[in-house]
Structure 1
Amino acid sequence: MPRFAANLSLMFNEVPFMERFARAAGQGFRGVEYLFPYAFEARDIAAELERHRLQQVLFNLPPGDWEAGERGIAALPGREAEFRASVDTALHYAEILQCRQLHVMAGVVPAPDRWETMHHCWLENLAWAAPRFERAGITLLIEAINNRDMPGYLITHQQQARDAVKTLGAPNVRMQMDLYHTQIMEGDLWRTWQRHREQTGHLQAAGVPGRHEPDSGEVDYAWLFEQLDRAGYAGWIGCEYKPRGDTAAGLGWFERWRSLQ
């Protein structure tokens, strides 16, 4: 049965971040994810998780200078020391939050002729990080991101993520398949998931094209979630979408699954 995790970076923005845990639990979610926890003390977040009986499902490593447009540093040559420090920071938070999945953002390629060099740097950094994650009992996730929302991102297609998983050959390196990104870049979501099922550790969902609730647009998520359930998918689906309005008012799509969480 799919389990749905509220993404607290995007959902329940009607209240400050630390109040969103209560809102998510109150709507029936049992798991949460978000982009970055680092503006808050890990133990304060852990207290909210415990108070509301929520599982921390996922968050990202520090992305570099987000305001300046950086979207990860794992593929940036010359930033290896910073990347390794970011691994230590994320693992510290993961230990306190009891989080067993971390997403490593690759970064943006400034020009096509830099892709090969940056891809090599990315793989080298992932190879360094993977055993450290494994010793901590954590899965390292890599994600293909569409080039409309994030122009120049290093990997944009699921096969690229799968190739990296195969190249690294580490048991704890898996794909984070965001169905929103996948629909924009590839489509054919059901068969794409089936093709990469064994390599996929986490799913995310949002409506296409607006990245709103998974109840409208060009993807029939009601059908897709049902197929995932029938196929025995027992992992998490991160609700990484931007509510059209009030978050709670837009959760009609979740009614089918609320009592099953």
Structure 2
Amino acid sequence: MIVETAGGPVRLAANLKWLFTELPFEQRFDAAAEAGFTGVEFASPYSLPAETVRGLLDAAGLEQVLINTPAGPAGSPTAMGAAYVPGAQQEFREGVRLALEYAAVLGTSVIHVMSGLRPAEADAEHAFATYVANIGWAAEQARGTGVRIALEAINKRDQPRYGLATMETAAAVAEAVDPETVGVLFDVYHAQVDGGNLIERFERLLPFIAHIQIADNPGRGEPGTGEIAYDRVLARIAASTYDGWIGCEYGPVADTRAGLAWTERIAR
């Protein structure tokens, strides 16, 4: 979906984990296309064979924009990712390999490598060193494939033990490992909760940004339901050198289609 802002056009992708949830997952592809989206993202395609997901994309005329690395079982130490978990190296590597296999079939150019929770008993420095080493290994696997690794920080209000605490840390890791292959997932919602100052931080991190996601705050609903001045934020993104997709990773306050009226307000 192309939306014109005061700064120019932006490309919006539907996050099918969050949007069109009134429909079974397989039907959300057609619903997204009918609503005007040409790109989709979602965290986990792994419950379906990659060829099946590819068929759903092709039938709806959609591009797969982003997937995540696999998460461990609910309640496990790696339920939110394995990169930051000492002792989970084998699980991490298997997950990265699987994500790259899916990305090759789906044509995905961005993989969000999930940090995961830092175990309460783990030494903080050891856990961070584990994370950097794991991201370095993932970058080696992705190099030359056309896939960029994206690192996302989750705000400390929603998940205080999430390993990767800030986007600035994500940028430092990307720069240390390989900024051509590793970048930052700039999630506007998480950035607002953890520090705000969105436009200045976007401009400072711009050289490292591999993907952008949006939701409003509080409530994590669609833009226009909270405090973020999305007309200004999206206009600044549009006027910048960022030419990637913007994932709509929000929970519609009511109906998904009705909630998309925010795109018309931004355009006006």
TM-score band, normalised by shorter chain: over 0.9
Structure 1 segments, 4+ long, off by >3 Å, are: 66-69
Aligned partner of 2:13 in structure 1 is 5
Q: Is the 8 A contact 1:2 1:233 kept in 2?
A: no
Aligned partner of 2:203 in structure 1 is 194
Residue 113 of structure 1, CA deviation: 5.8
| 1:224-255 deviation digits (Å, cap 9, x = unpaired) | 11222223432111100011111101000123
Residue 89 of structure 1, CA deviation: 0.9
Residue 143 of structure 2 aligns to a residue in which SS? helix
Range with bigger deviation, 13-22 or 248-257: 248-257
Residues 1:230 and 2:265 are matched in the alignment: no
Alignment of 1:64-213 (within 5 A): 64-68=72-76, 70-111=79-120, 114-213=123-222
Distance 1:28 1:66 in 2: 34
Residues 1:218 and 2:227 are matched in the alignment: yes
Q: Is the 8 A contact 1:115 1:154 kept in 2?
A: no
Distance 1:111 1:56 in 2: 35
**Structure 1 residues 64, 20: CA separation in 2 closer, same or farther (over 3 Å shift)?**
same
Residue 164 of structure 1, CA deviation: 0.6
Q: Which amino acid aligns with 2:226?
A: G
Aligned partner of 2:41 in structure 1 is 33
Q: Is the 8 A contact 1:206 1:212 kept in 2?
A: yes
Residue 203 of structure 1 aligns to a residue in which SS? strand
| 1:54-112 deviation digits (Å, cap 9, x = unpaired) | 11000100112234472100111111111111111111111110101100011111338
Structure 1 unmatched runs, 5+: none
Structure 2 unmatched runs, 5+: 1-8
Range with bigger deviation, 166-175 or 26-35: 166-175
Aligned partner of 2:257 in structure 1 is 248
Distance 2:63 2:251 in 1: 21
Q: Is the 8 A contact 2:18 2:250 kept in 1?
A: yes
| 1:182-233 deviation digits (Å, cap 9, x = unpaired) | 0000101011100000010111000101000011211011221122222343
Residue 257 of structure 1, CA deviation: 7.4
Residue 114 of structure 1, CA deviation: 2.4
Aligned length: 258
Distance 2:158 2:262 in 1: 24
Distance 1:21 1:145 in 2: 27
Q: Is the 8 A contact 1:157 1:186 kept in 2?
A: no
Counting aligned pairs with the same residue, the percent is: 38
Range with bigger deviation, 62-71 or 27-36: 62-71
Aligned partner of 1:48 in structure 2 is 56
| 1:147-184 deviation digits (Å, cap 9, x = unpaired) | 12222001221211111112113411000010000000
Distance 2:165 2:80 in 1: 13
Q: Which amino acid aligns with 1:31?
A: G
Q: 2:32 aligns with which of 17, 21, 24?
A: 24
Residue 160 of structure 1 aligns to a residue in which SS? helix
Distance 2:261 2:121 in 1: 43
Distance 2:265 2:40 in 1: 19
Which structure dedicates a bigger proportion of its chain to helix?
Answer: 1
Range with bigger deviation, 72-81 or 8-17: 72-81
Q: Is the 8 A contact 2:86 2:122 kept in 1?
A: no
Range with bigger deviation, 94-103 or 145-154: 145-154
TM-score normalized by the length of structure 2: 0.92
Q: Is the 8 A contact 1:25 1:54 kept in 2?
A: yes
**Structure 1 residues 203, 80: CA separation in 2 closer, same or farther (over 3 Å shift)?**
same
Q: Which amino acid aligns with 1:179?
A: V
Distance 2:12 2:68 in 1: 18
